[in-house]
Each structure stands twice: as C-alpha cells, then as structure tokens.
Amino acid sequence: MSENSFGFVGLGALGLPIAANLLRAGHSLKVYARKFEQSKFNKLKAAKFCKSAEEAAIDSNVFFICVSDDKAVEEVLFSSEGAYKSLEKGSIVIDLSTISPSKARSISKRLAEKNIEYCDAPVSGGTEGAEEGTLTMFLGCNIQTIERVRKVIKSIASNIYCFGKVGKGQEVKAINQILVAGSYMAVAEAISLGEALELPMDIVIEALQKGAASSWALTHRSKAMLEDNYPLGFKLALHHKDLSIALNTAEETGLTLPITKKVREIEKSLIRKGYGDHDVSVIKRFLLERCND
C-alpha cells in the first residue's frame, strides 16, 4: 500500500467538502457514493470514483466513512460489497459518522479480528467547518493510532481531541448535540421575542454576540432564522437521530434530560410536517407556526 492511499465513503453535506480537503492536501483518494452526480462532485475531479465500498477500500491504508447512522456504517463495512472484504491487516478505519457508542464498540471488535484498527471520530462545526477544514474532531482510540493519522486528519480538522477507548468519541458527540439542541432552541425563542417586540434584530444580534449570550448558533444561524430561510447545513432529521442517541446514552446511566427530550419532540413534529431535510435552524418554524395557529 502506498503511504497516502485513502478510501472515502459518504459524500453528503459534510463528506464531500471533507474529501475535497483531503485531495487538496495532496492525498490519493478513492471515493464511493451510492448516488453519483457529476456536477455535485466537481470538487473531486482528482479522485478515483469506485463502484462499491469494497473497491474504494482496496490498497487503502486509511479508510474514511462519513454516513448517516448505525445501519449505514454497518452496510459500508460488512455488506456483500462492503469494505471489510478488501481492507488489509494494519489499515485504519476513521469513522466520521455520528453513531451510537455501542455500535462503534461492536464494529471495532469485528474489525480487530482482521487486525484492522477502528477510530470513532465524529465531527462538529457544520458545513462551514467541513469546507474550511476547521472541524472539531472527537476521537475514540488510543494515542498511538492518533499519531499514525494526525498529519492526515489535520487537513480536515483544526481541533483534535482524543478520549481514549473506542466509543468515547461518540459519547462526547452526544454531549455536543445536546448543547446544539439547547442553543438552537434558545436562539429561536430569543429571536421570536425580539421580533414580537419589533426590535431592530440585526443590531440586537450584533450586540448579543458581544456579550455572554454569544454562541455558535447565534453567530451562524440567526440570519437564517430572521429570513425564515434554511439552506442545508446539517439536516434536522440527522440531528433528531443524534438526540435519540444522546437520550439513550443518558438513560443507560440513569439520567433524565428533560430539555433535550422536549427539543427532540419539537424536531419530530417538524419532521412530520416535511422539514426533515432542512437545516436544524428550521426549529424556529415551530414557534412561527404556533403563533400563526
């Protein structure tokens, strides 16, 4: 295997710019996407497009996965055309997907039977971070593995944190998504009140960003909420899935998270109304539509 031969499966809103950044860093990349759209993948002209995950994993010493959920990761690795068939001893799987900690651990055990290392490596930072290569990565693996791939992942993430055992990265991502849920809901409620009071919201938001109320959601998603226009950054349906993982993880420890549970209920109601493919900031629609009822 060549030193920088990589495979990549999952070219969605996050995966596509991440793969593009790996190419820009000079790495050889083989990619696979279930749906091929030439215009969408123009940024990956230097990559080799494969017909399956199995093909993308051939001669890849580092294999990236960036898909939607537990089932999708399972299929990428262990389906009839899965990567497991062609991944070689000593290779590393870096799973950027957000999945349950228990699934991450079970995948790791299965890959270890073939002496393949697995890192759960969920990321945070939205499409903006993916495009700019400034994502934050929560890694579940040992330090030795990190050192083997640090140079590689620095081309896609500027903040890299290792939490030891496999599954721990996913546990930290669950905490991250709880905070995202609360902050997005708080921004939506704050903007709704400001609008009801007929305040100059552009100036209000600028002022709030200078004080203790500042947050990523306020800085990056307040404009979408003000305009009631929600271009995709991170799908509401995927965040709803992530909150289910977070709540299940909390329940396993005996914790009840009432605010997170309420936000999940709100997201579920919006998904039922057809907003699942919108950005998470569409959560403001819940307040807007309640006012109009």
Q: Hey, which residues are catalytic here?
A: 173
The residue with tokens 């010493």 is 61
CA separation for the pair 139, 290 (Å, rounded): 40
Beta-carbon neighbour count of residue 212 at 10 Å?
Answer: 6
CA separation for the pair 9, 16 (Å, rounded): 10
- CB contact set of 233 (below 8 Å; sequence gap of 6+): 13, 126, 127, 128, 220, 221, 279, 280, 281
CA separation for the pair 33, 10 (Å, rounded): 6
CA separation for the pair 136, 125 (Å, rounded): 6
Beta-carbon neighbour count of residue 256 at 10 Å?
Answer: 9
Q: How is residue 102 written in tokens?
A: 């228990």
Q: How is residue 292 written in tokens?
A: 């109009």
Q: Which residues pair with 235 in a beta bridge?
A: 279
Identify the helix (H) or strand (E) that includes residue 138. strand 135-139
Q: Which of 159, 151, 140, 152 is nearest to 101 (CA)?
A: 140
Q: Pinpoint the alpha helices (H) of 25-100.
A: 53-56, 70-78
